[in-house]
Chain A
């Protein structure tokens, strides 16, 4: 059978029924790539279509930044040349990414509930490709939300320096990938939409608070400082904070107090080590999520 036979759409024409038997053999990874791409595109398409979601998911970070940030700033002495909201900025970007990424990833539970997941899982592609497409889609959407937050930089006295913006966007992509993979990993275990609240309370909020995104890590009590070092998100917040502090004029004392950098014992972690931690955790979580979704019954 051949696909070269042309068909016309005239009335009564026999439709083109050439089967896909001529499918190129040994090119499975191209199928997988195409499948991952279309799953990714679907996430973007749905994100663009849901304007309300774009706006509502910005409300929470804005409250954190301007209300909580200003409130805390009024009692934390930072001198007249430095604003506490500047300190809050990278943490709040992480907050935006965290919630968007988790929400995108957990939408796979909605897909399952409304059946669309099945359409994806019975396709002639490896399930890992579907999961990678889903992860890339969620990470892209979360990064886009983070970029929208970057627009507010001027309001919290952070300059629009191109280098800083590019560095932040790079870190945002990494953070978003790790958090979407985390969400997919959790979603594999969620059987009902109702469990979403449990996931938020038990996993997402602790990850957020323990990352020290909205408070300085310099003088934490030992128990909290230790817990913070076990939170992967802390290794994403810290590089962003360093990048922002490098772009603003902060007195040395303030810098030491608010952005001392993470350390293990006496070892001050280099920024590339922190990025490495994020990469390793992201890969491990994505691998685990793929494994959980692809086990055959």
Chain B
């Protein structure tokens, strides 16, 4: 294994006319690390991954993947990476095995190793019994698993997973993560993934939160949550508007109304709740304390929830480069 980072990115930028999709991101991913890009749709995750995979060329900065510059040696990068895209890229009129064979040829794997390697990866994703069936007969989860197997077939140094579970049902999502974790343990490769699911980012060793084309913060999920330093308190009262006003006046806290009542953040939640009961004039019906989540981390750094961010960046999504790359432009 190389001692140096598997992925090195310095001030990487991508501009489409007036739109700055990526505004200069800098980060390193260590060998064997699982690194996640977390952010709303349209934040620049897919653009970044497309640049690292040499699908689109950066307009500024540089990036090296597995020691090769993405702009100067795209073929060198492509040989050493595996890719699993948001959208399926399988030939549905070929069998699972034929899809893998096609890939082996494109990546010029030594012929004597191909058959054995296909056995390994197809077994790993639990599709060995369906290897001779046409892919069009597969479910969405099976297709995604086959794509992961294919991404690993040529033993890449870095595996890129762009929203690996998007569009799958919750059960299948859990299964896919099961496979990803298993392969991380078995293949010991570097994984770079993007997701807009907070719970999935928890699987990463380290995450970078990206919003509007910039990295707003980057650390381990635990460290990010600890840095928030506040717990989230949700409560229901007999008069929410009045309680909300009192929270502002007496404690200087800004609460937001949700469909379940009120929610706000405060340091040391356990110590705060007794004060709340003692000092609030409005009777409290129910209260709960939650440790900070990655959603809180996102909110802390951007001032909005990831769901609100998705809505406001909907128009940016229209110019998503992955959509264009799929169109082959």
A-side residues, CB < 8 A to B, are: 3, 7, 9, 14-21, 23, 28, 30-31, 34-35, 37-38, 42, 45-46, 49-50, 112, 114-126, 191, 293, 296-297
B116 within 8 Å of A (CB atoms)? yes
Q: Are B120 and A16 in contact (CB under 8 A)?
A: yes
Q: Are B56 and A38 in contact (CB under 8 A)?
A: no
Given contacts A46-B93, A122-B55, A122-B78, contact A31 B88 (CB under 8 A): no
Q: Are B155 and A19 in contact (CB under 8 A)?
A: yes
Chain A residues in 8 Å Cβ range of B80:
19-21
- Within the complex, what minimum Cβ distance (angstroms) separates A108 from chain B? 9
- CB within 8 A of A37: which of B56, B78, B105, B120? B105
- Within the complex, what minimum Cβ distance (angstroms) separates B63 from chain A? 15
- Among A20, A21, A120, A191, chain B packs the most CB atoms within 10 A around the CB of A20
Measured in the bound complex, the distance between the Cα atoms of B326 and A121 in whole Å is 10
Q: List residues 67-94 of chain B with CB under 8 A from any CB of chain A.
A: 75-76, 78-80, 83, 85, 87-94
B220 within 8 Å of A (CB atoms)? no
B223 within 8 Å of A (CB atoms)? no
> How many interface residues does B have (CB within 8 Å)?
51
B327 within 8 Å of A (CB atoms)? yes
Of chain B, the residue at the smallest CB distance from A108 is: B328
Given contacts A115-B90, A122-B53, contact A20 B107 (CB under 8 A): yes
Q: Are A119 and B189 in contact (CB under 8 A)?
A: no
Binary CB contact string for chain B from 10 to 31 against chain A (1 if under 8 A, 0 otherwise): 0000000000000000000000
Of chain B, the residue at the smallest CB distance from A50 is: B93
Chain B residues in 8 Å Cβ range of A42:
91, 94, 102
Measured in the bound complex, the distance between the Cα atoms of B112 and A16 in whole Å is 13
Q: Are A38 and B120 in contact (CB under 8 A)?
A: no
Q: Are A35 and B154 in contact (CB under 8 A)?
A: no
Of chain B, the residue at the smallest CB distance from A27 is: B108
B232 within 8 Å of A (CB atoms)? no
Q: Are A35 and B75 in contact (CB under 8 A)?
A: no
Binary CB contact string for chain B from 130 to 165 against chain A (1 if under 8 A, 0 otherwise): 000000000000000000000000111100000000
Measured in the bound complex, the distance between the Cα atoms of B85 and A114 in whole Å is 12
Chain B residues in 8 Å Cβ range of A15:
120, 124, 186-187
- Within the complex, what minimum Cβ distance (angstroms) separates B83 from chain A? 6
Given contacts A30-B108, A118-B326, contact A49 B187 (CB under 8 A): no
Chain B residues in 8 Å Cβ range of A123:
78, 103, 106-107
A-B contact sample (16 more), CB < 8 A, given A18-B155, A46-B91: A3-B113, A7-B120, A15-B124, A16-B116, A20-B154, A34-B108, A35-B108, A38-B102, A42-B94, A42-B102, A118-B326, A119-B89, A119-B90, A121-B328, A124-B79, A191-B327
Given contacts A20-B79, A23-B79, contact A297 B90 (CB under 8 A): no
B237 within 8 Å of A (CB atoms)? no
Q: Are B110 and A45 in contact (CB under 8 A)?
A: no
Given contacts A17-B188, A118-B325, A119-B89, contact A124 B78 (CB under 8 A): yes
Given contacts A17-B155, A115-B88, contact A3 B326 (CB under 8 A): no
Of chain B, the residue at the smallest CB distance from A9 is: B119
B221 within 8 Å of A (CB atoms)? no
Q: Are A16 and B155 in contact (CB under 8 A)?
A: yes
- Among B54, B56, B75, B328, chain A packs the most CB atoms within 10 A around the CB of B328
Given contacts A16-B155, A20-B155, A117-B328, contact A38 B105 (CB under 8 A): yes
B117 within 8 Å of A (CB atoms)? yes
- Within the complex, what minimum Cβ distance (angstroms) separates A183 from chain B? 15
